[in-house]
Structure 1
């Protein structure tokens, strides 16, 4: 079959891509940016589309020709594009798919997308399910519990990060929130099983692993797998967790957000036995999956760096804001000294001081809004290097200053590069 996978570059989408290619299918992946995907998956064909903006019929004109099945693995847990990706885009795709003769559509939803869960994630996911059910073609909806894999993303990355913290693992409330975790490969195998299969048309399945575990037990097992020793827990009151979620909502890059917290508390348990009977194979248990793939040094790095990534971003943000404030409030004498050393007119001192402080504020704003740490990393490096070279040339004695005002720029540059390397969680 020729199968189109929406969101093929994501944590789940990539594994679906691999499974379908292994099954001999012709796969068309729809991604925001192709980048290196073409080299990583030379057997697949890719279309570059921003699904949040692909909400008009003409966006899909000609793109669905000869497609037999569409797998919609696109989804986000937070952000202003939620309605567009979860509801508006699927509505247009359903209409265009019917016109193009597509026979089957598979939607990856979530087991915690329920009417009683008060999040925009649950609301838009449910709307997406309603749209798929109303589509004039075969459809199958998959509502998995927690999805984990050899890698991690989102909630599973958070769990690894929590399990990797030194001394004590912070535990939201009593940690009894239930999950029936399923491996990405088993979910991908499920997708490959149902694609184009009339036996699953009109069905809603809840992919779940063979056991239901509490959050506390999941963290205990992940810590043991990582090799960090015995798990010791520190209970965090839920009001404080909700406050941290609000902070994550505001910054857009915190490890915790309101949606992820509410969806976690809502319950993510499924009936693994019923799912295995419906799909025709038994998904592996968490213990079996962890035993089959022992933790490597990269896994331990990722777990330890998970909370450092937002901490590094926060300290760099504080650095640029403090630099701007110091320039506005206390930089008159230092700027005048620099202007004299460079042989510039004294009248340049004021504009140079104000301009550099404004630039620091602009960099702080760029750092705050650059979710993937691409442009902000390049700009920060260029500006720190520029500051260091100009000031070091004009006032070379500062290189030997006991307080190291210029030498400190070297570790700051490295910190900026580290943030650039680990800031993109995609």
Structure 2
């Protein structure tokens, strides 16, 4: 039998990356496509970087034809609208173009679409409503399709919400009681990939899977508290005392996360994430189980197969600290520059004056370094320029240290130790630089 070719769209994400690698291990020829891939994800010549969301129907049709695609897996998704991110464009408009491409490709192609569980009457966010609009477009298209609605996905990797739950499990902090009690049905990412492999093995003319929509999740009821508890067992933190999180902190965290998203970051705690969390994750996996014969792994089996390593523990503990590190560095550079420029300009300039700097240079140097400090803080604040800002901050700090050692060595023994404290600041910026990757 000819080896089938599978096209995975969104091959850099939590589900997309695992599915791409797992299906290859199962013997399929898999083309993994993403807008951008990290260096670690470029494992094969079949992993392609393309501006996938900007491709029109004709370009998508050429992609299907050039690679002789038999099955398309659409894992593309965006949680919330923001700069460069539009839920309608990703979930609805792109799917409409993809359906045109599949229908016009002249090939027998099955579409496997990753959606979300729940019912349309409970959809309250742009994320959910546009996902549901895509489902309706697919159902009306007339092409062979399978809509998969996974529950809370548990995978060896952790991004976004899955990383947040691991972080909560690593700390003695509980979300509010109401949120902890919401239904939260998990599914192992291996079960998602096994389902796609099962569909890929079916004949395109098999009427039993010509048009299906399945909920993928474990059968046993689960809550958010139960999921976090299982992670705590894996992390060895189950016996720790718990500190309940005030309800207002969720709303505050969501607003801070929304603001950070406008700076290009993708924090897991945003208003859409909180709204979807409060709705819960639930569904009925009976049709999926009956059709495929797959027995979904329980949460205990899934996490038990991947006991927490030291890497897992470090990641979970540092995940929440990452935001604090970057926020503190942004504040450090902007506030210090602002103070030197507007609040204590005379005092800052006086330091140079007392060390025999030419008077004509005192003000320009004071103003220039203050503006440079604030610029570094602004660069770090934006995700796209954060690496540049951190490198600039490290170089500027080293410049201050070496310049002071040559021109004003007595500042090293100044009672408040301002220059001595620059060393730990450099280390913190180096840590931030090493933590910058998201994938």
Q: What is the TM-score of this pair, normalised by structure 1? A: 0.91
Further displaced range: 307-316 or 130-139: 130-139
Aligned partner of 1:19 among 16, 22, 26: 22
1:92 equivalent in structure 2: 97
1:137 equivalent in structure 2: 143
Aligned partner of 2:376 among 350, 353, 363: 363
Q: For residues 357 and 401 of structure 1, what CA distance do their matches in structure 2 show?
A: 21
Structural mapping, 1:22-421, within 5 Å? 22-37=25-40, 39=42, 41-42=43-44, 45-52=46-53, 54-57=54-57, 59-60=59-60, 62-65=62-65, 66-80=68-82, 81=85, 82-102=87-107, 103-112=109-118, 114-166=120-172, 168-171=173-176, 173=178, 175-195=180-200, 197=202, 198=206, 199-252=208-261, 253=265, 254-328=267-341, 329-338=343-352, 341=355, 343=357, 345-370=358-383, 373-421=386-434
Q: CA deviation at 1:244?
A: 2.1
Gaps of 5+ in 1: none
Q: For residues 4 and 108 of structure 1, what CA distance do their matches in structure 2 show?
A: 13
Gaps of 5+ in 2: none
Q: CA deviation at 1:231?
A: 5.0
Instruction: Tell me: CA distance 1:59–1:173, structure 2 relative to 1, closer, same or farther (3 Å).
Output: same
* Structure 1 consecutive aligned stretches of length 4 or more whose deviation exceeds 6 Å: none
Instruction: Tell me: CA distance 1:362–1:78, structure 2 relative to 1, closer, same or farther (3 Å).
Output: farther
Preserved CA contact (<8 Å) 2:412 2:420 = yes
Deviations 1:157-216 (A, max 9, x none): 1111111114x4343535111111011111111122123634322111111113221111
Q: For residues 9 and 339 of structure 1, what CA distance do their matches in structure 2 show?
A: 55
Q: CA deviation at 1:379?
A: 2.7
Further displaced range: 322-331 or 363-372: 363-372
Q: CA deviation at 1:354?
A: 2.5
Q: CA deviation at 1:28?
A: 1.0
Q: CA deviation at 1:6?
A: 0.6
Instruction: Tell me: CA distance 1:264–1:281, structure 2 relative to 1, closer, same or farther (3 Å).
Output: same
Instruction: Tell me: CA distance 1:304–1:55, structure 2 relative to 1, closer, same or farther (3 Å).
Output: same
Preserved CA contact (<8 Å) 1:30 1:47 = yes
Instruction: Tell me: CA distance 1:220–1:417, structure 2 relative to 1, closer, same or farther (3 Å).
Output: same
Q: CA deviation at 1:361?
A: 2.6
Instruction: Tell me: CA distance 1:298–1:372, structure 2 relative to 1, closer, same or farther (3 Å).
Output: farther
Q: For residues 392 and 131 of structure 2, what CA distance do their matches in structure 1 show?
A: 37
> Number of residue pairs matched?
421
Preserved CA contact (<8 Å) 1:106 1:195 = no
Give the secondary structure class of the aligned counterpart of 1:269: coil
Preserved CA contact (<8 Å) 1:244 1:256 = yes
Preserved CA contact (<8 Å) 2:219 2:285 = yes
Instruction: Tell me: CA distance 1:365–1:177, structure 2 relative to 1, closer, same or farther (3 Å).
Output: same
Q: For residues 254 and 37 of structure 2, what CA distance do their matches in structure 1 show?
A: 32
Deviations 1:100-132 (A, max 9, x none): 234111111111473422211112212222232
Q: For residues 376 and 362 of structure 2, what CA distance do their matches in structure 1 show?
A: 21
Preserved CA contact (<8 Å) 2:179 2:224 = no
